[in-house]
Structure 1
Amino acid sequence: MVRIAGVDVPDRKRAHIALRSIYGIGPTKATEIVGKANLDIDMPPRMNELSEDQLDRIRVIVDQDYITEGDLRREHNENIRRLIDIGSYRGLRHRRNLPVHGQRTRTNARSRKGARRTVAGRGRRTGGKK
């Protein structure tokens, strides 16, 4: 396994695909990195076929030009913490574990709200026949 930015990158995948296993690097950035490292963009080699010099070039590019892994996670959490601290609407939604981007919550939103909690008195009423 090749280690880039503190992550074990898969050996048998092509370079632009394997780089996506690093948090903060998606398809576009991975292709940019392969291009900056002077590798073939159309058909990049597999990670285990790269020389140590090529791997070092990729490591330098990722470390210098991109925010990845721990730094990116920390920055993301600081942004959310800031929203919560200033009491913005988005911060309140984060604090209550509710959807942040305007989705409906009467139905759906189960992945954000968690498993259903049964509430007494909900459902169909069947009493009171005369």
Structure 2
Amino acid sequence: MPFIVGTSIPEDKVLVQSVACVYGIGLSQSKILCKRAGFGLDSRGKDVTFSQGKDLENLVEATPLPLGPDLYRFQDDNIRHLCVISSYRGLRHRKGLPVRGQRTHTNAKKRPPLRLKFNAS
């Protein structure tokens, strides 16, 4: 079972869907990566040898996009910046309310408030 950016690839699932489970890779990007690695659309995780898994992992890591934990950190930093500068969106994140203009009259009150740790520097 190969690992790609810290995510294990299940052996019984279609390889294109398995690669799409990596945070930051969608289904279309996954199809492109599997095609470049030489896999068909019906390949499964059990068909991947160790060397093919390394090739696929190198292709995924060569993408210029942040993936996995780097993407989580990037998004958290952006939200933290909005909270620090006290923008409207940052205040909505902090209060746990919808950020993008959704209604709050009858729903969207159950989300927990954002708990970010701020550095004193």
Assess same fold via TM > 0.5.
yes
Does the Cα contact within 8 Å between 1:34 and 1:44 map onto a contact in 2? no
**Shift of residue 113 of structure 1?**
5.5
Q: Which ranges in structure 1 are unaligned for 5 or more consecutive residues?
A: 115-130
Tell me the alpha carbon deviations over residues 17-62 of structure 1, each in whole angstroms, 9 at most, x when there is no partner: 111221111211111211221222xx33101112222211110011
| Aligned positions, number | 112
Looking at structure 2, the residues matched to 111 and 24 of structure 1 have their Cα atoms a distance apart, in angstroms, of 27
Q: Which ranges in structure 2 are unaligned for 5 or more consecutive residues?
A: 114-121
Partner of 1:51: 49
- Alignment-mate amino acid for residue 92 of structure 2: R
| CA 2–111 in structure 1, closer or farther in 2 if over 3 Å, else same | farther
Partner of 1:75: 74
Partner of 2:96: 97
| CA 104–113 in structure 1, closer or farther in 2 if over 3 Å, else same | farther
Partner of 2:58: 60
| CA 79–27 in structure 1, closer or farther in 2 if over 3 Å, else same | same
**Shift of residue 111 of structure 1?**
4.3
**Shift of residue 112 of structure 1?**
2.3
Does the Cα contact within 8 Å between 2:2 and 2:50 map onto a contact in 1? no
Larger relative contact order (Cα-Cα within 8 Å, sequence gap ≥ 6):
2
Looking at structure 1, the residues matched to 17 and 47 of structure 2 have their Cα atoms a distance apart, in angstroms, of 14
Q: TM-score if structure 2 supplies the norm length?
A: 0.83
- Alignment-mate amino acid for residue 94 of structure 1: H
- Alignment-mate amino acid for residue 16 of structure 2: H
| CA 108–7 in structure 1, closer or farther in 2 if over 3 Å, else same | same
Partner of 2:24: 24
Q: TM-score if structure 1 supplies the norm length?
A: 0.78
| CA 27–100 in structure 1, closer or farther in 2 if over 3 Å, else same | same
Looking at structure 1, the residues matched to 109 and 32 of structure 2 have their Cα atoms a distance apart, in angstroms, of 37
Looking at structure 2, the residues matched to 55 and 108 of structure 1 have their Cα atoms a distance apart, in angstroms, of 45
| CA 34–99 in structure 1, closer or farther in 2 if over 3 Å, else same | same
